[in-house]
Amino acid sequence: MSWTKIQVRGQPVPRVPARNHRMINSFVCGVSIKSHHRVSNVLRTNGSPLGSVPIRTTESQFLRGDVNGRFGRFGGKFVPETLMSLLRDLEDEFNFVLSDHEFQEELTTALRDYVGRETPLYFAGRLTEHYKSISRTIGDGPEIYLKREDLSHCGSHKINNALAQAMIARRLGCSRVVAATGAGQHGVATAAACAKFSVECIVFMGTADKEKQFSNILSMKLLGAQVKSVEGTFKDASSEAIRNWVGNLETTYYLSGTVVGPHPSPLMVREFQSVIGKETRRQANQLWGGKPDVLVACVGSGSNALGLFHEFVGDEDVRLVGIEAAGLGLDSGKHSATLAVGDVGVYHGSMSYLLQDDEGQILKPHSVGVGLEYPGVGPEISFLKETGRAEFYTATDQEAIQACRLLSRLEGIIPALEPSHALAFLDKLVPTLRDGAKVVVNCSGRGDKDLDTLIQRGLPSSLC
């Protein structure tokens, strides 16, 4: 076996087998390790395109992952050995704060008084009537509700996780936090949380995204964050943020905004976002004395979807529906539909579905909703697909823009272009549902950040 050396913080570290070099590249440099295992066709969604999908396992706990962050074959820690002890320490701290009364009490108070939780479960009456008028000649049709994460402090669900992880960074004695952002929402949330807890904040952002998110860049800077440009998009910014973290391990905390990366990062983000689903269960019981029939969320890498879905994974009578970004069309090559056309590999430290070519090179994703532009999904999302517990479909850029327009005009709510993909799927979903079915769509962010994009696409001037 040949050996090679790597450098961390400028110092030589114990020699690493050359076969681990691919793992280092995958985690630090953003290069995929392509899986050669065939994806099981047996476990894929089958039947009618809009049919309810049964759970493929009788063990609902199995669907919640194991203690090592593995969901079937997905997840894991594909990182250089030098990071393993740090990740174990982070996992220990995470497990401690989950049951630490003082931490949980502070977090609950901050979510209530700082973030503004709980967010409303809002009955979209006019949107409901709209779909009734176009899909029903008789009957009342389903009822559509919005989980209003757009009303959270900073304008999206991202603050739920950023606040909790900033508290962990403070507990660990880290003096600086690094993060990557695409649409800017995670960057703003991280900057706000760091300002609250007096921690230095550095946010990496792709140049392609910075051109579209000027208002969020100003917000981050106003909140005291340094915003550093990286050539490319969110995936490139993520790789640079990880590289910066690896080079400054003693002082720096990497604050992941989504459910990807090596264990325990996906579980941490999912846990701190699961407040969305927990509130939804409680609010649904208060509003109509039952559970939702269908949950719908957009899927980039998966944080807002898992935030809504996770609470209901064990409820076999609740459909979980995720909507990916089809961009300019699945045949165009310009999309972010990882689950629709991707396959399995290792990227940024874990195994999941990815957009990659035959050589394992990561493909460039595209979506009008910048927050959906990531060439992979989290391991738990991958597992929900492979087991058939969740259904995944797509919506194009144009469909998302029209859905944004529709909600704005009917409800006076301007959604971000990311959740507009979920709203767009209502066109296909609603006609298949029974009268009185309760549909909850996660409105994961507000659309202020997307106004420039909408203007460039001909809205709202085309409405005049």
| pLDDT tens profile 338-371 | 999 999 999 999 999 999 999 999 999 999 999 9
Which residues are registered as beta bridge partners of 204? 180, 228
| pLDDT of residue 198 exceeding 70 | yes
Burial of 120 (0-12, 13-18, 19+ CB in 10 A): middle
Do domains 117-154+270-463 and 158-262 share one topology? The answer is yes
pLDDT at 404: 98
Fold classification of 117-154+270-463 is: Rossmann fold (3.40.50)
For the record, the structure tokens of 235 come out as 């995936």
- CA-wise closest residue to 209 among 34, 406, 371: 371
Q: Is residue 443 within 8 Å of 155, Cβ to Cβ? A: no
- d(CA 191, CA 177) in angstroms, rounded, equals 9
Q: Is the pLDDT of residue 328 over 70?
A: yes
- CATH pick for 158-262 out of 3.40.50.2300, 3.40.50.1100, 3.40.640.10, 3.40.50.300: 3.40.50.1100
- Residues 262, 79 contacting (CB under 8 angstroms): yes
Indicate the helix (H) or strand (E) that contains 345. Answer: strand 343-347
Count Cβ atoms below 10 Å from residue 171 Cβ, excluding itself.
Answer: 14
pLDDT band at residue 35 under the 50/70/90 scheme: low
CA nearest 79: which of 34, 36, 22, 35?
A: 22
Residue 183: per-residue pLDDT: 84
Mean pLDDT of 409-433: 98
Mean pLDDT is lowest, of 197-211, 300-314, 434-448, for 197-211
Residue 52 confidence class, pLDDT cut points 50, 70, 90: very low
**CA neighbours within 13 Å on the CB side: how many for 35?**
19
pTM over 0.85: yes
Kindly tell me if the per-residue pLDDT of 463 is higher than 80: no
Opening angle at CA 92, ends 90 and 93, nearest 5: 65
Please check the confidence at residue 385 and state whether its pLDDT lies above 50. Answer: yes
| pLDDT(171) > 50 | yes
- Residue 25: what pLDDT? 56
pLDDT digits (tens, 9 = 90+) for 73-112: 999 999 999 899 999 999 999 999 999 999 999 999 999 9
Least confident of 197-211, 286-300, 305-319, 381-395: 197-211
Q: Considering only 28-42, 283-297, 410-424, 429-443, which range has the smallest mean pLDDT?
A: 28-42
User: What's the pLDDT at 42?
Assistant: 27
Give residues with Cβ within 8 angstroms of 42, minimum separation 6: none
Q: Which of 7-16, 61-70, 118-127 has the lowest mean pLDDT?
A: 7-16
Cα(158)–Cα(205) distance, rounded to whole angstroms? Answer: 16
The pLDDT, as a whole number, for residue 276 is 99
Please tell me the predicted confidence (pLDDT) of residue 444. Answer: 98
pLDDT in the model for residue 14: 32
**So what's the pLDDT on residue 22?**
53
What pLDDT score does 279 carry?
99
201-221 tens-digit pLDDT: 999 999 988 888 888 999 999
Sign for the CA dihedral angle at 94, 98, 101, 104 comes to positive
Band of the pLDDT at 40, cuts 50, 70, 90?
Answer: very low
- Is residue 23 very low, low, confident or very high in pLDDT (cuts 50, 70, 90)? low
Instruction: Decide the pairing of beta strands 252-254 and 176-181.
Output: parallel
pLDDT at 8 over 50: no
Q: Where are the domains of the chain?
A: 117-154+270-463, 158-262
What pLDDT score was predicted for residue 130? 97
CB of 298 within 8 A of CB of 369?
Answer: yes
